[in-house]
Structure 1
Amino acid sequence: MSDLIFDEELPKDPFDLFSSWYSSRRRVGGRRGAGAVLVTMGGRDRPLVHCVRVVPLPDGFAFFLHHRSSIGLALAIDPAVSLAFDWSEQSRVVVVEGRCDRVSAVEADAYYGRLPKREQLAVWAGGMEREGVARDEIAHSVAQFADRFAGQLIPRPTYWGGYRVIVSEMCFRQASGDGVLDILRYRNAGYDKTWDVRRESA
């Protein structure tokens, strides 16, 4: 069970608290990036739910995918998003609200260049997806791109890139041993990168 956070220990910046919780999570899980649930609307009358790998940034979050995917198409219509990080094994949940902007080509190139070769090839093959295509056909595409880029650096396809979440609200939820849910809600005050924070319980 995680320790409670007392008022005098509350960081003024929610990203400081997220960094602390994320570091603790990595010591337990050891993942590259953070798995999260992403919710988009995309002009529909119901939310679309996706699982994505998120890269924490000093002042936001980023994720990378095909611009022609269902997520990319939804964000092109409505950039509003929610992210949820479920760290139940530590009795913690973080929920983020905000909107998305595309990252620069330079930032996308830098992230893509750090991916393992097999994932870079999968990015190329994924961009060729069509409805109803068989897994074997995708695997064949990966092999074709492996031959095409043999002995050279694999460039990033232009239809794949990143999105940065501009955060308007972050909510940290932590269960205690007495069954009380401690909630810390940070809202962007709208100026000079300051945040209003409120403690709640449930």
Structure 2
Amino acid sequence: MNSASSEGRSVEIADLRQDYRYKALLESDVSADPFQQFQLWFDQAVEAELPEPNAMTLATVTTDGRPAARMVLLKGCSPEGFMLYTNYHSRKGQELAQTPYAALVFWWAELERQVRVEGAISKISDAETEAYFHRRPRGSQIGAWASEQSAVICDRNILETRLRDLEQQYQDQPIPRPPHWGGYRLMPNLIEFWQGRPNRLHDRLCYRLSDQQWKIERLSP
């Protein structure tokens, strides 16, 4: 696809570009700890009232080396890693079971910033999952039971029927966590911070974990 239509006009996709001039990213300005640096940028994204600042791309890989990516939501970040929750039987859950490595990408367009994260991923404890599940809105709790995530269904009526049945089943009582639903924690060995700069000469600072120590490297744009 080489062009897109906007109000009847043809737009050449190859000609779409933006010059980035918001800020710089210098070694002297960043924390030696990538988690502290991420928290700083994340807090600034929240303060800027960006839509869903915790939205991120999660990339996984199949056993035959084919990549797959989708948007998910970050639900926690600490020196222990980046957390998310999903259905273990979903496509991403099956791929993570086969190959427990993943990549994350955050894109905060208004701040002209991107963060890439790579590393090993594993399930979190049942206790952590239980605590988070019961903090979720009741509708989301029922939804975790109603949807066989990634499975083929004939039409949406199947979901609506399941939802009504479950609402009746759990009326006036707590909703238990489905055994197939839970959390993951990605422990990174690489975190890259990207700040847009003029003339495509962007700033890229990459933290790499080596011998339990984080080393900061500047990458060419």
Verify same fold: TM over 0.5: yes
RMSD: 1.8
**In structure 2, C-alpha distance between the alignment counterparts of 1:105 and 1:124, rounded to whole Å:** 17
Paired residues of 2:90 and 2:151 also in contact (CA < 8 A): no
**In structure 1, C-alpha distance between the alignment counterparts of 2:52 and 2:129, rounded to whole Å:** 17
* Alignment equivalent of 1:40, drawn from 47, 54, 60: 60
Deviations 1:66-101 (A, max 9, x none): 111001100110011111111122100001001111
Range with greater deviation from structure 2 (177-186 or 103-112): 177-186
Q: CA deviation at 1:130?
A: 4.0
Q: CA deviation at 1:31?
A: 5.8
Range with greater deviation from structure 2 (2-11 or 109-118): 2-11
Q: CA deviation at 1:50?
A: 1.6
Q: In structure 1, list runs of 5 or more residues that go unmatched.
A: none
Give SS of 1:114's match: coil
Q: How many residues align?
A: 200
1:198 matches 2:217: yes
* Alignment equivalent of 1:150, drawn from 147, 150, 171: 171
Report sequence identity in percent.
28
1:165 matches 2:197: no
**In structure 2, C-alpha distance between the alignment counterparts of 1:7 and 1:30, rounded to whole Å:** 26
2:116 aligned partner: 95
Distance change (3 Å), C-alpha of 1:133 and 1:33: farther
TM superposition score normalised by structure 1 = 0.91
Deviations 1:28-54 (A, max 9, x none): 346667111111113123101121111
1:124 aligned partner: 145
1:25 matches 2:25: no
Give SS of 1:45's match: coil
**In structure 2, C-alpha distance between the alignment counterparts of 1:175 and 1:185, rounded to whole Å:** 15
1:139 aligned partner: 160
* Alignment equivalent of 2:132, drawn from 111, 117, 132: 111
Q: CA deviation at 1:9?
A: 2.3
Give SS of 1:36's match: strand
Distance change (3 Å), C-alpha of 1:142 and 1:31: farther
Distance change (3 Å), C-alpha of 1:113 and 1:77: same
Range with greater deviation from structure 2 (1-10 or 45-54): 1-10
**In structure 1, C-alpha distance between the alignment counterparts of 2:86 and 2:63, rounded to whole Å:** 20
TM superposition score normalised by structure 2 = 0.84
Paired residues of 2:53 and 2:108 also in contact (CA < 8 A): no
Deviations 1:147-200 (A, max 9, x none): 111112211111100110011100110012464200010001232xx2000123
Distance change (3 Å), C-alpha of 1:152 and 1:32: farther
Range with greater deviation from structure 2 (123-132 or 19-28): 123-132
2:104 aligned partner: 83
